[in-house]
């Protein structure tokens, strides 16, 4: 079993526990009480790079990254640094997150929020919106086409933006065919956990220029961000480098507003 398959097994167990405690009908009823979802696309399409800053305590590949006793305080720093969106990892077993983190961050900032998890079931999309998320991640490698489309449509019907994550050419084709406006290229292969920094430049030309590309994983600072921007990224999604620095606001600001040099291939 690949690492991804293994993670999804645990995610399904956890989600069935939550569904037993709170019915889907209850979650749907709660949707009436949340503010309309914020649209992250105008900021992501604007000139100059954007940062999607992640609240991440640990990962299967790196182990412990940061304690983050107060996710809201970290999110405040990200917002102050000019993050276009904030990603909150809600997976519990491997990443040490929870939906409670998302709720806490939502109460603190007005920035668009991404629920970063292994979404495989309608229930998770509904609970994301009910918790105040504005975006959800859909990982192409974890979903068959019918499920990918159903989750994408459900998210759209709730006003959620989907970040559709790919790590090879086949998955990129599936994301493009789906009509995904926001495509994330994850340099970390979730099947092996290896990082391949060249993946972004390989896959970017396969994505039509009207879509917004996000470079995900292994971005350690402005130099990496600039390289991705030159290869066609409008945004970088950064976790580890931001949760480990002493000044997350400054770190976000340093990766924001970068523009591709004239010589870079326009997408
Ligand atoms: O901490 P990094 O290397 O900056 O990576 C952030 C983000 O890309 C990574 O957390 C991630 C990308 N896609 C995911 C899917 C599930 C869990 C986590 C991820």
Pocket of ligand 1 (CB under 6 A): 54, 56, 116, 139, 165, 186, 216-219, 237-241
Ligand 1 mean position to 147 CA, how many Å? 22
Q: Which residues of 178-188 are buried (b: 16+ CB within 10 A; e: fewer)?
A: bebbbbbbbbb
Show which residues are catalytic. 54, 56, 116, 165, 186, 216-217
Question: pLDDT at position 196, please?
Answer: 94
Q: Where are the beta strands (DSSP E) in the chain?
A: 50-55, 58-59, 63-64, 85-89, 113-116, 135-139, 161-166, 182-186, 212-216, 235-238
Protein residue with its CA nearest to atom 11 in ligand 1? 217
Q: Indicate the top mutation candidate among 86, 124, 175, 216 to test ligand 1's pocket, ranked by most ligand atoms within 8 A of CB.
A: 216
Ligand 1 mean position to 27 CA, how many Å? 27
Question: pLDDT at position 266, please?
Answer: 58
Question: pLDDT at position 193, please?
Answer: 87
Angle between helices 99-108 and 71-80 (to 10 degrees): 50
How, if at all, do strands 85-89 and 63-64 pair?
unpaired
- The answer to pTM > 0.90 is yes
Question: pLDDT at position 1, please?
Answer: 77
Looking at the DSSP bridge assignments, the partners of residue 86 are 53, 113
Mean pLDDT split into 10-residue runs, the chain, 267 residues:
93 98 98 97 97 98 96 98 98 97 98 98 98 98 98 98 98 98 95 90 98 97 97 98 98 97 71
Q: Indicate the top mutation candidate among 56, 164, 183 to test ligand 1's pocket, ranked by most ligand atoms within 8 A of CB.
A: 56
């Amino acid at each position: 079993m690949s690492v991804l398959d293994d993670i999804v097994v645990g995610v399904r167990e956890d989600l069935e526990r939550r569904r037993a405690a709170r019915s889907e009908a209850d979650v749907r009823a709660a949707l009436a009480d949340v503010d309309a979802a914020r649209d992250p696309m105008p900021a992501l399409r604007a000139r100059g790079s954007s940062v999607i800053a992640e609240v991440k305590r640990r990962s299967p590949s790196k182990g412990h990254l940061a304690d983050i006793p107060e996710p809201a305080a970290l999110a405040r720093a990200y917002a102050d640094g000019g993050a276009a969106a904030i990603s909150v990892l809600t997976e519990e077993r491997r990443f040490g997150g929870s939906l409670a983190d998302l709720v806490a961050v939502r109460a603190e900032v007005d920035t668009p929020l991404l629920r970063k998890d292994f979404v495989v079931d309608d229930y998770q999309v509904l609970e994301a919106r009910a918790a105040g998320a504005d975006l959800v991640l859909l990982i192409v490698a974890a979903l068959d086409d019918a499920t990918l489309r159903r989750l994408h449509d459900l998210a759209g019907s709730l006003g959620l933006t989907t970040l559709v994550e790919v790590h090879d050419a086949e998955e990129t084709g599936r994301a493009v065919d789906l009509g995904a406006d926001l495509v994330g290229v994850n340099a970390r292969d979730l099947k092996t956990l290896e990082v391949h920094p060249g993946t972004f430049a390989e896959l970017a030309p396969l994505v039509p220029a009207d879509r917004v590309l996000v470079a995900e994983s292994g971005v350690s600072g402005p130099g990496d961000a600039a390289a991705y921007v030159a290869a066609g990224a409008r945004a970088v999604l950064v976790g580890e480098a931001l949760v480990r620095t002493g000044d997350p606001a400054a770190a976000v600001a340093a990766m924001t507003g970068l523009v591709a040099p004239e010589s870079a291939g326009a997408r």
